[in-house]
Structures are given as structure tokens and as C-alpha cells.
Amino acid sequence: MRGYEVVPDALRDSVRYLRKAADKWDAARSFLTDQDLSESDLGLLGEMTNATQWYNDALQEALERIGNGSAALEDSAVAMTAVAEDYANRDAEFYAQFNYLSDQLP
């Protein structure tokens, strides 16, 4: 296919950003873990409106989604690493066919 070029080092740089993002999502998940409320935390009004249960349900949903997002970022990093390595290997094979690398070495 013409019109684009894959730069393995640029992909590797992107992997670092994906992993940093996944780490931030993990940190957010860790911060929110065990932050649920007991029935009495919002007093009588909280008990009467069932607000603590709604909060806890929303918290669990957020934790699940943040965990899924973090996993998706990490999966993307793994896949992008594989693509970078594949293209780097292809480049090395291509250059080897024409002795490009050996001509450049002292």
C-alpha cells in the first residue's frame, strides 16, 4: 500500500503514552476502591432515599468501567508493541537484502 510509512520508534513512543494512561486509570481505580458508603453515612435522609445504595451501585459501575478502560489501554499497548516489532523486523530484512546495514557499519 502506498502513501504511508510506519515508523517503529514512533509506535514505541506511543506505547509509552498508552502505558502511562493505563497507569493513571489504575491509580484512579485504586483511589476509588473501598470508597463505598455505609447506610448511615448520609444520615436519615440518605436512608430514606436509598442514596447510599445508589452511590455504591454507581461506584461499582465506575470501578468496573475504569478497570475495563485500563485493560483496553494495556491491550492496545501490547498490540502496538507487536506491530512496532513486526515493522522493525521487516525493515531489517529489507535493508539486509541490499546490504544497507552492513555497508553502514565500520
Residue by residue, pLDDT tens for the chain (106 residues) are: 577 788 889 999 999 999 999 999 999 999 999 999 999 999 998 889 999 999 999 999 999 999 999 999 999 999 999 999 999 888 888 777 776 555 555 5
In the numeric block, the cell 502496538 is attached to 80
Is residue 55 one of the residues assigned to a domain? yes
Helices vs. strands in the chain: H and E counts, helices first: 4, 0
Number of structural domains in the chain: 1
CATH code, 25? 1.10.287
- Whole-model pTM: value is 0.78
Determine the structural domain holding residue 43 and report its residue range: 8-104
